[in-house]
Amino acid sequence: MPTAGTTLIAAVRAHLLRQVASWAILFRRTGFALACYERALRDDPNDTATLAQRAYLLAQSVSAADQQRAVAEFERLVALKPADADSWFNLGFLYQQQGGHVEAIRAFERAVALRDGLDRAWYGLALSRIATGDDASAIEALKKNVALQPMSPFGFMELARAQFRSQQPEACEKTMRRLKAFDPRNAAVLEDETGIRIGIERWWRN
């Protein structure tokens, strides 16, 4: 059984190995960084700080095998730390990237339940709901996203599209006008997509 002293030594060693791994990543020595994480996890396989960094690094890889490993790592992380909103978000994002939208929805819903202000999780949740044909629920998620990110065009664009598909032209036009106030170029893209034209004078009055 490890003593308090050996546990402390292992924790310090793991911290140093994570620091070395961070430097290795800066110099694109991914293999060396992964080896550092592996070494740290030999002392404590349930070291969530190291698991999180390794999972995130694997998630950046273009390798399908590494992506699957990243999913497994984040699944393990949320099992060890079920209140970790960031890990739930990362897991949802990976599910989404691999086409697992039902699983992604569950993960994103867990993330926003834990941290309501996690704007990117609301956006990811909306995209997966759209992918499963649930525009009504996607609209609610996108409203949360744009409230949290009022100067990001992506949420507004997807909100307007979902409203248009849901036959809500007035709501769609209102969203487009809000977008045009700070991003007229993307508002013009939506005008072409929807056929809804926002005249400058009308936008200015509103």
Give the tokens for residue 200. 């400058």
CB neighbours of 185 closer than 8 A, spacing ≥ 6?
A: none
Q: What is the pLDDT of residue 203?
A: 40
Q: What is the pLDDT of residue 40?
A: 87
Q: Please state, in angstroms and as integers, the Cα–Cα distance from residue 166 to each residue in 122, 138, 170, 171, 189, following that order.
A: 19, 11, 11, 10, 19
Q: What is the pLDDT of residue 204?
A: 43
Q: Which of 23-32, 76-85, 172-181 bottoms out in mean pLDDT, i.e. has the lowest? A: 23-32
Look at 33 and 147; give whichever has higher pLDDT. 147
- pLDDT mean across residues, the chain: 91
Q: Which of 4-13, 90-99, 102-111, 112-121 bottoms out in mean pLDDT, i.e. has the lowest? A: 4-13
Per-domain residue ranges of the chain: 11-75, 150-206
23-32 confidence digits (pLDDT tens): 887 888 888 8
Q: What is the pLDDT of residue 77?
A: 97
Q: What is the pLDDT of residue 83?
A: 97
Q: What is the pLDDT of residue 51?
A: 93
Mean pLDDT of 61-67: 90
Helices H, strands E: what count in the chain?
12, 0
pLDDT of 69 strictly over 90: yes
> Of 99, 130, 69, 41, nearest to 122 (Cα)?
130
What is the pTM (predicted TM-score) of this model? 0.86
Give the tokens for residue 101. 């939208």
How many CB atoms neighbour CB 32 within 10 A? Answer: 14
